[in-house]
Structure 1
Amino acid sequence: MESRPRLSFWQIWNMCFGFLGIQFGFALQNANVSRIFQTLGADMDLVPGLWIAAPLTGLLVQPVVGYFSDRTWTRLGRRRPYFLAGAILATLALFVMPNSPALWIAAGTLWILDASINVSMEPFRAFVGDQLPPSQRAGGYAMQSFFIGVGAIVASLLPWLLAKAGVANTAGPGEVPDTVRYAFYVGGVVLFAAIGWTVLRTREYPPEVLASFEDAQPADGPVHARAEAAPAAAAGWLLAGLALAALIAARGWDRMLYVLAGMLVAYGALLLLARVLPPGGMLPTLVSDMRAMPRTMRRLAVVQFFSWFALFAMWIYTTAAVAGVHFGSDDPTSVAYNEGANWVGVLFAAYNGFAALAAIAIPWMVRALGLRFSHLANLWLGAAGLLSFLLIRDPQWLLLSMVGVGFAWASILSLPYAMLSDSLPAMKMGVYMGIFNFFIVIPQLVAASLLGFLLKHLFGGQPLWALALGGASLLLAGLCVLAVPTLAAKEARA
């Protein structure tokens, strides 16, 4: 069996360039969707529920796209058809989102936008595993982090830059300001152009060639399917979810907690459905692969849970926290609130800028500290950044907080995938990257369910404390990295 060929710097550049557009879309969404929802009349305690669209679509879309892309071969290749389809749909959604005439239309458009971006994004993760030998994968994922940072800088800054250029930054009740609308139009064009560049400037190995490489099977040996879940176990998950739902109803707790109950019920139903469907179909195969995850992937799942819980808390609540605490306004129609919201765009651009710099520094960190300790250090820098919001009152100084957040963001987007990639078989790279997304999505659903309840009952409804909870979550994520098994060979070649 032959070794997978090494690629040049510019070949890696072209294959990762599409992430510039993907993150352009995500950054506009993350920095402005809460603002759009509040502008259209959403109360602050409803915003986390409206955001459920984003993680839920990723939960549904990514493993399905991974499953089908593993089995696809067309004139465009294996992953690139999905890049292109997702880009077209996401571009259209970006044009529609800021023109939503009602809250329910904006919420529905968020589902379409996030699903479309996920259709493009999931194959990009598998694309690196397909094209690069193990010795170059950490660098490939770091290159993706670089483009994520660069794309998000410009996207996050766009409303602020447009306001500086004289575009109207306020509008009447129920109307989205022109700064936000024009930023979304630019984002649609950039997303389509960047992904189109990768589609046109890259090539893919046919399935038979991928199977011939010596690293086609994971370094730890083949992945073996586990026995299917016992009926009692599946029923247990169902009953646990129903019991939690009954408790929520009896106590009159926040209705968002029903999301947690629904997750338990859905998992139990999924296990039961996989048992009754004919073997070899998509759903039984996905469940079997999920239960056969390598040990490295299982340990990384815990790290990802705490990491993405923190990120989702930041994305949901930073606008409300900064506008309320640092700019003194909770009224979405006020000048002060919109100045604060624009400043959050600057902060988000800043952490993505620092992430782009961190992506350059991370390979040197890994050579000095190894994969695990590098990731731990970066996560703790992010924790310090979020916790510092409790102490800083001058909004200008929040730029310093974004240094730590930027290093954590770059690390979260690269090092878990570098630790994971060698444990995955080539023929299942797409489906396992999609399943790995569960551990990005589940914590976001938990955050959307719990954060509003916790803030209301423990922290007086103050959004600033959601950022503090995010900081504590990153501290835990860093500790959990130490439990991830890392082969010495993997450490050496990273």
Structure 2
Amino acid sequence: MSSDAAPFRLPYRHLNDAEVELAHLEGDPDGRIDGSGGSCSIPVSSPSALSHDGALQQKNGSSLKTLVLSCMVAAGVQFGWALQLSLLTPYIQTLGIEHAFSSFIWLCGPITGFVVQPCVGIWSDKCHSKYGRRRPFILLGCLMISFAVTLIGFSADIGFFLGDTNEHCSTYKGPRWRAAVVFVIGFWMLDLANNTVQGPARALLADLSSPDQCNSANAIFCSWMAVGNILGFSSGSSGLWHRWFPFLTTKACCEDCGNLKAAFLVAVVFLIFCMFVTLYFAKEIPLERETAQHLSDSSPLLNDPEQYQHESTQTKLEKVDNHHFSEMDGKTRMDASFDFQHSSEEGKVEALNGPGAVLVNILTSLRHLPSGMHSVLLVMALTWLSWFPFFLFDTDWMGREVYHGNPSGDATQRKDYRQGVREGAFGLLLNSVVLGASSFFVDPMCRKIGTKSVWAISNFTVFICMAATTVISLLSMSKGFHSIQHVIGGNDGIKIAALVIFSVLGFPLAITYSVPFSMTAELTAGTGGGQGLATGVLNLAIVVPQMVVAIGAGPWDALFGGGNIPAFAVASVFSFAAGVLAVIKLPKLSNAHSSVGFHGFG
């Protein structure tokens, strides 16, 4: 085959069996997408890149015990993520960062989710370590998480030693800038570490699973994430850590700080335990080193007929074996790897053999989307514009608007604020339980009324809930309501209503974590495969809104006098618009739905 020949594209096979996975949003609220390889429901690397033993391992799969214990690290990561989601926005305000700027710390999540995870996925695909392709990255990521959460927990003490105020934390109300800087460094490092672990952890499970184990493996992984969420939110809702570990409270670190510090230290111990279990039971086959020629990977999104002009319509691929592709006409045999190649002849950027190529392919694919994908991206963007304000400020909302606390106020206000934050963490626990239960009903609903209608219902539910938070906030903060609370017991009613909203939001969240990705899989199914790239494009509709909200939500709230009501009110408008556009613009697809399970917030 001459060097100037057109790149040969291999159509994907068994496309109907592929499912699209969201790796941690990132929860999670952070928009994390799995770019790692695997063999199951996760975008995979070429089977020809594995050794013969590795291919045999994928074919035969692993025992149930191995699958269960090999993905236990997901629970450890999710434990820390649940604490991050529930406690850190309120905590940064106790260090002197105003509410208007507290959302800025969340910028790193969507950025690293979009950039780091695809890069880590490619690096792990090509890792030749004797310990396997995925385990080195899992080990590195877990160590980074442990260091980051320790840095966050001890940020107040570190700031004290670096020169922050000598006044006791119980009486000092001013900013502690050195502690805040340490906190932000740890927070951003935590986002980076989460994205380092999530992709390889999912890919590892896919590597160990046979095709008929895919559904079971995915359910196991999601179950561990549910366990981590429940433990993390339970830990965050407890206000007793400083009593159980009194030595963690210091002159610079009072009750709320001591609770945070202890909860994160427990998270570190749990994560390290889960990591060792995963590393021990996940028996990976090392990737063999060999020289591979380039083979262009045909993307389903690059749906331009011109890009296929060099393909022979008579060529049909029969099998892939021993790193060779056998054609039915017997004319061509070639060594293959799924590296990407640049095609200057067509004026298009093809994926190169490097991590930056993933981002290039995702961006250039926007010009060649299949019919209907633009509507999916638009609705997805509006959906996340409505979700992310709640993810950022849910526990802060409980502390401020529902419990009338203030992290920078007097002792009573700070106590009320801490109590509200803990109740908010409990609300997130209820949210996770409802989310997990609702995930079992998404598939039947999609089969009965269609994915389009289910997604629309989800957005209208969010609209009702976000509008309800605005009404509850205005009612709770009104002077007239304050004057009669002691007569009608309205304050307790407001608190219960807030927890009900937390719980109800678990239902549309389950839909948000599954339906858009199944729709993307179906829309791209007829164009040749490559759902990993399709999901990467969909990820743009997640991370860009998250960055917009992280930059604009705080200043927008400050424009109307502070608090969380303005951001929640705008979120209700976005969710209503998303529901209307879902009804009008989304393509009508088949009622079949491939559930992607419980993804949690990460």
Task: Give the TM-score taking structure 2 as reference length.
Answer: 0.61
CA contact (8 A) 1:122 1:430 kept: no
- SS of the aligned residue for 1:177 comes to helix
Q: Which residue of 2 aligns with 1:455?
A: 557
Letter in 1 for 2:399: A
5+ unaligned residues in a row in structure 2: which ranges?
1-12, 18-39, 41-58, 160-178, 289-296, 306-346, 477-493, 597-602
- SS of the aligned residue for 1:488 comes to coil
CA contact (8 A) 1:123 1:430 kept: no
Deviation of 1:286 (Å)? 2.9
CA distance in 2, matches of 1:377, 1:138: 26
- How many residues are treated as equivalent by the alignment? 437
- SS of the aligned residue for 1:292 comes to helix
CA contact (8 A) 1:128 1:140 kept: yes
1:160 pairs with 2:240: no
Deviation of 1:291 (Å)? 1.8
Q: Which residue of 2 aligns with 1:353?
A: 433
Deviation of 1:152 (Å)? 1.8
Deviation of 1:225 (Å)? 7.8
CA contact (8 A) 2:115 2:359 kept: no
Go from structure 1 to structure 2 and tell me whether the alpha carbon gap of 1:19 and 1:349 turns closer, same or farther (over 3 Å shift).
same
CA contact (8 A) 2:455 2:515 kept: yes
Deviation string 1:165-224 (CA, Å, 9 cap, x unpaired) is 94579986765521111111122233343455455445679999xxxxxxxx99xx8554
CA distance in 2, matches of 1:156, 1:412: 21
Q: Which residue of 1 aligns with 2:399?
A: 323
1:107 pairs with 2:184: yes
- SS of the aligned residue for 1:152 comes to helix
CA distance in 2, matches of 1:75, 1:35: 44
Go from structure 1 to structure 2 and tell me whether the alpha carbon gap of 1:489 and 1:369 turns closer, same or farther (over 3 Å shift).
closer
CA distance in 1, matches of 2:432, 2:461: 14
CA contact (8 A) 1:159 1:342 kept: yes
Q: Which residue of 1 aligns with 2:360?
A: 287
CA contact (8 A) 1:317 1:463 kept: yes
Deviation string 1:307-337 (CA, Å, 9 cap, x unpaired) is 3333321132223322222211223462111
CA distance in 2, matches of 1:360, 1:71: 36
Deviation of 1:400 (Å)? 1.2
Letter in 1 for 2:548: V
CA distance in 2, matches of 1:492, 1:111: 34
CA distance in 1, matches of 2:74, 2:303: 32
Q: Which residue of 1 aligns with 2:540?
A: 438
Letter in 2 for 1:87: C
Deviation of 1:32 (Å)? 1.1
- SS of the aligned residue for 2:407 comes to coil
Letter in 1 for 2:385: F
CA distance in 2, matches of 1:462, 1:38: 13
Letter in 1 for 2:430: A
Q: Which residue of 2 aligns with 1:49?
A: 104
Go from structure 1 to structure 2 and tell me whether the alpha carbon gap of 1:419 and 1:275 turns closer, same or farther (over 3 Å shift).
closer
Go from structure 1 to structure 2 and tell me whether the alpha carbon gap of 1:323 and 1:489 turns closer, same or farther (over 3 Å shift).
closer
Go from structure 1 to structure 2 and tell me whether the alpha carbon gap of 1:278 and 1:67 turns closer, same or farther (over 3 Å shift).
closer
Q: Which residue of 2 aligns with 1:231?
A: none
Pick one of 452, 461, 469 that aligns with 1:389. 469
Go from structure 1 to structure 2 and tell me whether the alpha carbon gap of 1:316 and 1:44 turns closer, same or farther (over 3 Å shift).
same
Deviation of 1:120 (Å)? 1.4
CA distance in 1, matches of 2:205, 2:230: 23
- SS of the aligned residue for 2:96 comes to coil
CA contact (8 A) 1:312 1:447 kept: yes
Deviation string 1:285-306 (CA, Å, 9 cap, x unpaired) is 5313432265366544333322
CA RMSD of aligned residues (A): 4.2
Q: Which residue of 1 aligns with 2:384?
A: 308
Q: As a proportion of its length, which structure holds more helix?
A: 1
User: How high is the sequence identity, in percent, across the aligned residues?
Assistant: 23
Q: Which residue of 1 aligns with 2:264?
A: 184
Q: Which residue of 2 aligns with 1:474?
A: 575
1:151 pairs with 2:228: yes
Deviation of 1:107 (Å)? 0.5
Deviation of 1:340 (Å)? 1.1
Go from structure 1 to structure 2 and tell me whether the alpha carbon gap of 1:427 and 1:474 turns closer, same or farther (over 3 Å shift).
same
5+ unaligned residues in a row in structure 1: which ranges?
209-216, 228-273
Deviation of 1:164 (Å)? 8.1
- SS of the aligned residue for 1:328 comes to coil
CA contact (8 A) 1:142 1:414 kept: no
CA distance in 2, matches of 1:276, 1:363: 38
Letter in 2 for 1:179: N
CA distance in 2, matches of 1:105, 1:132: 41
Pick one of 95, 108, 121 that aligns with 2:150. 95
CA contact (8 A) 2:467 2:568 kept: yes
Q: Which residue of 2 aligns with 1:376?
A: 456
- SS of the aligned residue for 1:51 comes to helix
Letter in 1 for 2:471: L
Q: Which residue of 2 aligns with 1:58?
A: 113
CA distance in 1, matches of 2:206, 2:520: 10
Pick one of 38, 41, 46 that aligns with 2:93. 38
Go from structure 1 to structure 2 and tell me whether the alpha carbon gap of 1:277 and 1:492 turns closer, same or farther (over 3 Å shift).
closer
CA contact (8 A) 2:236 2:425 kept: yes
1:412 pairs with 2:512: yes
CA distance in 1, matches of 2:425, 2:594: 38
Task: Give the TM-score taking structure 1 as reference length.
Answer: 0.73
Mean Cα displacement is larger for which, 378-387 or 68-77?
A: 68-77
Letter in 1 for 2:103: P
Looking at CA atoms only, which structure, 1 or 2, has the larger radius of gyration? 2
Q: Which residue of 1 aligns with 2:334?
A: none
CA distance in 1, matches of 2:214, 2:126: 22
- SS of the aligned residue for 2:505 comes to helix
CA distance in 1, matches of 2:364, 2:421: 43
Deviation of 1:348 (Å)? 1.5
Deviation of 1:108 (Å)? 0.8
Go from structure 1 to structure 2 and tell me whether the alpha carbon gap of 1:50 and 1:278 turns closer, same or farther (over 3 Å shift).
closer
CA distance in 1, matches of 2:241, 2:207: 44
CA distance in 2, matches of 1:164, 1:279: 50
CA contact (8 A) 2:135 2:279 kept: yes
Letter in 2 for 1:150: V
CA contact (8 A) 2:89 2:102 kept: yes
Deviation of 1:453 (Å)? 3.3
